[in-house]
Amino acid sequence: MNANDLDNNPINMIYRASLDDPEGFWSAAAAALEWQKPYDRALDSRNPPFYRWFPGGQLNICYNALDRHVAAGHGDRTALIHDSPVTGTVRNFTYAELTEAVAHFAGALAHLGVAHGDRVVIYMPMVPEAVITMLACARIGAVHSVVFGGFAANELAKRIDDAKPKVIVSASCGIDGSKLIPYKTLLDAAIEISSAPPTHCIILQRPMLAAPLTPHRDVDWHDVLAKSIAVPCASTLATDPLYILYSSGTTGAPKGVVRDHGGYAVALHWSMSNIYAIAPGEVFWAASDIGWAVGHSYTVYGPLLQGCTTLLYEGKPVGTPNAGAFWRVIRQHAVNVLFTAPTTFRAIRQQDPDATFLKEAPLGDFRTLFLAGERCDPSTLAWAQAQLNVPVIDHWWQTETGWPIAANCLGISQMPVKPGSVGRAVPGWQIDVLDFDQNPVPPGTIGNLVIKLPLPPGSLTTLWNADQRFVESYMVDFPGYYQTGDAGFIDEDGYIYVMARTDDVINVAAHRLSTGAMEEVVAEHPAVAECAVIGVADELRGQIPVGLIVLKANYTDDCTLIEGEIIELVRNRIGAVASFKHVLVVAGLPKTRSGKILRRSLRAIAEGQEIAIPATIDDPAVLDEIALAMRIAGLSPSARSVV
């Protein structure tokens, strides 16, 4: 790779402009949207770190996502496709139909007393009514808070207590593979223990499991719609809160990330063209639950702001019905761009390592795969590239940032892909690497990845009712910067490598080593479907790494042989300094329902701590299985228990 080629790339000029004149840069981006009232100036920086974008301006994100396209003559364009293999149904909504549905449900919320600034908690499965509810809240200036469907009652209650909603919108049930999840039962239990019960609950009755309604509190979705009239978009300030999103994996009091109407709309709209290179009318599929940040930004708001067709999928990458599910969806709905987590591809690869389902038929006009949500190991990247024969782009962002921090911006200029890297900083984001004394480190040196303030539009503005916690959580350790909590490095070409969370960098005999770098090597072994490397306490070295691996479905070799080969691979690639001597074959890894491996829980097991079952975990039994395997191997104190 020629450094001069990178220096002369047009993205460098755009990136420099975004840092040298952020107000001018984002004002130009804001001009693409329709404003109810012009803003006073692009950035209000009078009260750092509480920066505000487009103060004084009025912009309703629902209008820009729906009504604007209808007014421009695109009402017949498909806005939303709901594909549900678990119910065997597909539903399509044009922009005109979705606008009408949202306007009527906004009227239903207003009929129940929901007004500007009121909160509405949404606890629903992946159904169109969930998207309609989100947009209806935005339409009238209410603040929505989507809670991942299926969260346990106590976790839902914590979020109800924090948001204090006037109305909760839910469903009688969700479907997880072949299993019914009784949402209404969970909701009733959460309200019972909540200190801030809602005035009303709107319940979508699903035919596979109806639920009894509580008199004087619960109303049927269809009944409340029958009494409503369509309402127009309210006048909302650009700085008004749009939603609260509680970050996954939180412990103790929930941490509610707050996003606004104006900055969020501008950033997402800019990202669709410039990062994802997706045009109006094309089909964009972000395969994420709407309860997560990706679902908010790139299933709901981003594609609709751009005038795309967005796809809402109620199913899994494997098991509904097989490892060819994603290829079926791409073919059937002519998907152009897919955005999913690396875990999705690890799961598909584990079940179908030769990609036999993919080879059944061409994928049509599918042209790009974007990966995010967890570090993508080069092995998974290479497999996806080889099977799909399209650009595979790993990129990096967080719940707090709301949109990508680093990426290969295909809409500006496609850069060479470096396996293991999430690309270069996206325009608007100045990313530095600092040591714990706040000093810059040389290129290629692992340190704390931090972002220079002010953050660009679209990022969190604060935490709900917790300004001081916002400062203490993100702004204290590195003054003038947002602390991402991620560790990594930037190479001489400006490519960013996110190696681990900062507490996943382990200290082996005074050597700071990245568990992510070790995972990268472990994943190269042809038998490994997915893996995690954690540090465990060692009297001699302080910490030593332990690898946990899940084998591909078609591997029947001796596990002891595979473990030895992996240990030798790490020794040859990283060196004896890593002291990598322990590999355990396990049936599965503990993950959140969004696909992130719960490394904090794995570390707690290794340290013999008594831990609570995380609210976000997909399969709690996996923790017990790993705990037993580690105890048998002598790597975890026997006193440890899961509660």
Residue 610's pLDDT is 67
The owner of tokens 């719960």 is 598
Residue 572 lies in a domain: yes
Residue 539's pLDDT is 63
The owner of tokens 């990245």 is 514
The domain boundary residue, chosen from 175, 210, 235:
235
Residue 430 lies in a domain: no
* Overall number of domains in the chain: 2
Amino acid at 36: Q
Residue 190 lies in a domain: yes
Long-range pairs of 558-565 with CB within 8 A, sequence gap ≥ 24? 559/585, 562/525, 562/527, 565/525
Please compute Rg for the chain using Cα positions: 24
Residue 103 lies in a domain: yes
CA distances from 368 to 263, 338, 362, 630 (A): 27, 7, 14, 40
Q: Which domain covers residue 133, as residue numbers?
A: 95-235
Residue 608 lies in a domain: yes
Residue 166 lies in a domain: yes
Averages of pLDDT over each 10 residues, the chain, 643 residues = 56 94 98 98 96 98 98 98 97 98 98 97 97 98 91 87 97 91 95 96 96 96 95 98 79 82 98 98 96 95 98 95 97 98 90 95 96 86 95 95 97 92 97 94 95 98 96 94 94 92 65 75 91 80 85 83 91 77 90 76 77 68 83 65 40
Query: 430, 440 in Cβ contact below 8 A?
Result: no
Note the pTM of the prediction, 2 decimals.
Answer: 0.84
Residue 4 lies in a domain: no
The dihedrals phi and psi of 543, each to the nearest 5 degrees, come to -145, 150
Residue 643's pLDDT is 40
Residue 540's pLDDT is 64
CATH number at residue 600: 3.30.300.30
- Residues in a beta bridge with 260: 241
Q: Are strands 368-371 and 337-340 parallel, antiparallel or unpaired?
A: parallel
**Helices marked H in 299-407 — which ranges?**
302-306, 325-333, 342-351, 378-388
Dihedral angle sign, alpha carbons of residues 286, 165, 613, 127: negative
CATH number at residue 128: 3.40.50.980
The domain boundary residue, chosen from 210, 235, 260:
235
Alpha-carbon distance 414 to 238, whole Å?
32
Residue 30 lies in a domain: no
The domain boundary residue, chosen from 201, 235, 269:
235
Residue 641's pLDDT is 40
Query: 195, 337 in Cβ contact below 8 A?
Result: no
